[in-house]
Amino acid sequence: MKTQQAKPARYVMVIDVDRCNGCGNCMVGCAVENNVSVPPADALANRGLTWMKVYRVGNDRPFPDHQTVCLPIPCQHCDHAPCIHVCPVTAVQRDEQTGIVGQIPERCMGCRYCMAACPYHARYFNWFTPVWPAGMEKTLNPDVGTRMRGVAEKCNFCHGRLDRARERAAAEGRRQLDPGDYVPACAEACPTGAIRFGDALDERSGMKDLLAAPETFRLLESLGTEPKVYYQSRHAWVRQVGRSRLARVRGFETPAGEGVTHG
């Protein structure tokens, strides 16, 4: 019997920077969904895990002409991901069926080459054995395993949700997912609708128009990494910062793992 194969997808995220109010819901929603652990209280600030991190970006003009926007940065799921090429144990893989760049913690040996290679500083290292306060293990997401100390981890577009969506679709006799079947936790938690997500190859998702909009841009485009996380802003200075001057963003300039204490 010939098996009908699901069509390939190209999942993309479009973040409307002008809509983001910096509430941090995306960070919390992500951490809850993916069982991201809480480091010890005395840990250095940048030794924590934030698969999705919101940065504040200013236009460097004096008050009151100063403008600030919030820039949420998850893993960019690059088509030409540097982290894939540098991993010596193939713990990072790009799924050809979805375009999602996944991390396989069981294979990771903790060399952190991927962190050094990632120009978006979107990879994090488990410096500590993940521990939750007594009783709180009961609140962990059963669809996502916890990671151990000594491995790198990052956003995977909530792959557990993709699996659930596929299971639901299969139970309904569908091979293809409909738009809205699969939405990452950050997009779902965003109260302003700033984060939109969908299959760019599916006309019904509306992503094609968003990607073609003149205010759409990608971070550090000149590197040629071809990220699948897109941003939108009507402010030219925001687009300029995102495209080529990301290193100026406060907090972004410090590579993860270097010793900077929090206040």
* Residues of span 2-21 touching other proteins by CB under 8 A: 18-19, 21
38 binds other proteins (CB under 8 A): yes
Q: Cα-atom radius of gyration of the chain, to the nearest Å?
A: 19
214 binds other proteins (CB under 8 A): no
Pairing assessment for the beta strands 68-73 and 152-154 based on DSSP bridges: unpaired
Residue 229: strand pairing partners: 13
CB-neighbour burial class of residue 187 (10 A; exposed 0-12, middle 13-18, buried 19+): buried
Applying CB under 8 A, which of residues 2, 5, 63, 173 lies at the interface with other proteins? Answer: 63
Applying CB under 8 A, which of residues 77, 123, 147, 218 lies at the interface with other proteins? Answer: 147
Q: Select 16 or 225, whichever has its Cβ closest to other proteins.
A: 16
> Which residues 6+ apart lie within 8 Å of 140 measured at CB?
35, 132, 146
Shortest Å distance, C-beta 64 to other proteins? 4
Number of other residues whose CB lies within 10 A of the CB of residue 8:
12
d(CA 186, CA 201): 21
d(CA 81, CA 19): 28
Q: Select 2 or 138, whichever has its Cβ closest to other proteins.
A: 138
Q: Select 128 or 226, whichever has its Cβ closest to other proteins.
A: 128
> How many residues make contact with other proteins (CB under 8 A)?
73
Binding pattern for the stretch 221-250 against other proteins, x by CB under 8 A and - elsewhere: -----------------------------x
Within 79-118, which residues bind other proteins (CB under 8 A)? 105-107
